Structure 1
Amino acid sequence: MATAAADRVRTAGEEMRGGRSVRVDTKSSITDVVTAVDRDTERFVRDMLAELRPGEAVLGEEEGGAPGEGVTWVVDPIDGTVNFLYGYPWFAVSVAAQVDGVSVAGAVVEPVSGRRWTAARGAGARVDGRPLRVSAPTGLDVTLLSTGYAYRRDRRTRQAEMVAAMLGRVRDVRRAGASSLDLCAVAAGWVDAYVEHGLSRWDWAAGALIAAEAGAVVALPGEAADLGEDATFAAAPTIAAPLRAALVESGAAKV
């Protein structure tokens, strides 16, 4: 399902770079963009789910929805829409199955590389069938931290202040622009940790499960009041506690 949707996104991206125009609108701010490809892809996934899993609820970024009884499918048709628009190849289609608000299965598929990140609760995480395991940094000074920024300028400013405070305490900071893939990067050990404020359920539903099943310590929005009620946190176990303490000291809860 996610793979089929990613194929459509990849084709649309190739057509854009070949000269085809795509309608672009904005949502919460001028930097919060949505394309016709986002909407078309979500509709494609919804149609597939209606055929394969009739009667089950769908919660999507573009068309909304609400959790239902039993399984709810959580869909982000293009996570990293700005990257997609610019031809920057760090974007993905994310689909997760949740029961009572808890992810039980998830897939994140990259249209450009074709990588498929998958996980099922209690069954581990994989990329293209290969098992994933988080890194094991020995301290904050050798920790590579990933993060992201909100669409609102005032909040981005506070987030930048937090990052500035962390730069002297960690190895370095990365900002790639697609939360689902940032969480997958934690699972692969490409980065050691990830924190971001203001994510929606579709941003983390699949990626957070993949990170957790790869061994990361994960806290979802509402589970880490010390970092802020809407914080998403994933980290290698060896540095999770000191990193969380350092984030609190840097003002994460005020972001």
Structure 2
Amino acid sequence: MTLLLDTATEAARSVGPRLRKAFRSRPEVATKRDFHDPVTEHDRAAEETIRAVIDARVPGSAIVGEEGGSTGSGDLTWYVDPIDGTANFAAGLPFFCVSIAAAVRGELVAGVVYDPVRDDEFTATTGGAWCNGTPIRSRGAAADREAMLLCSYPTPLDLDAEGEAALRRYRRLLESFSAVRRPGSAALNLAHVAAGWSDAAFGTASHPWDVAAGALLVRQAGGVYLGDPLVKGDYLAHVGGFDLAGSALAEVSGRLPREES
């Protein structure tokens, strides 16, 4: 696990200088699925660099990346998002990160979420979770009325699928939580919940490269992560001691299991 975490950390930090230099340069933006799904040359270049570091340090690994798709095979799989929060990065909003996780035979064992603007490095193994080398604990509010919720719901896809019901669910969250924010990076949202800087996070139709590292962070910091981080789908995370049963999140995220998976 030390080798895997060191590799993930080296790979994430290797693209930090490029991303900091390009930040607020208003890079040209292309789109993938639709205009809500942007990509820049820096996403692709950063993933190529990350893949090169992984291939050099741990040759023969399988890699699942947002930009490069799936390559390789074997028991060890890396999940790579070179810029989680591309829309923020492209516009100049300082809330984006690099997310890299390693799983062995389907079990997450190491991960890093690196915020290159603040130089915050969140790391986790099955032995614990840290921010900049200091152990972190996922502790915070116990109930909605004192809690900060970070979410992406409802997305345009949620609105297409659920219509006005999605807006009613979002209103329920706004009315219940002390504050609801939509920062725009699932991985960084989860890292902040792991550190106890926010109390809950919720997202729909997320990919493994978005949440794998963050899920490990939350769980190893003593928080709760609901959903399968290695399968595209919904997720919910909260700090330890949060009353999910009494939360509006229990209603809005009703499709999720009520136990860790």
Asked if TM exceeds 0.5, the reply is yes
* CA RMSD in angstroms, aligned pairs only: 2.3
Name 1:226's counterpart in structure 2: none
Aligned residue runs from structure 1 range 80-229, under 5 A: 80-121=85-126, 123-149=127-153, 150-152=155-157, 154=160, 159-221=166-228
| Gap change, CA 1:142 and 1:166, over 3 Å in 2 | same
Instruction: Confirm or deny: 8 A CA contact 1:109 1:117 kept in the other structure.
Output: yes
TM (normalized to structure 1)? 0.86
Q: How far apart, CA to CA, are the structure 2 residues paired with 1:182 and 1:8? A: 23
The residue type paired with residue 2 of structure 1 is A
Q: Deviations over 1:182-227 (max 9, x none)?
A: 001101111111111110000001111111111111112489xxxx
Q: Secondary structure at the match of 1:186?
A: helix
The residue type paired with residue 206 of structure 1 is A
Q: How far apart, CA to CA, are the structure 1 residues paired with 2:124 and 2:253? A: 33
Aligned length: 242
Give unmatched runs, 5+ long, in structure 1: 224-228
Q: How far apart, CA to CA, are the structure 2 residues paired with 1:174 and 1:222? A: 22
TM (normalized to structure 2)? 0.85
Q: Secondary structure at the match of 1:103?
A: strand
Q: Deviations over 1:158-198 (max 9, x none)?
A: 54432211222221211100000000110111111111111
> What fraction of aligned residue pairs are identical, expressed as a percent?
36
Q: How far apart, CA to CA, are the structure 2 residues paired with 1:27 and 1:156? A: 23
| Gap change, CA 1:73 and 1:33, over 3 Å in 2 | same
Name 1:79's counterpart in structure 2: 84
Name 1:69's counterpart in structure 2: 74
The residue type paired with residue 147 of structure 2 is T
| Gap change, CA 1:67 and 1:205, over 3 Å in 2 | farther
CA displacement at 1:45 relative to structure 2: 0.7
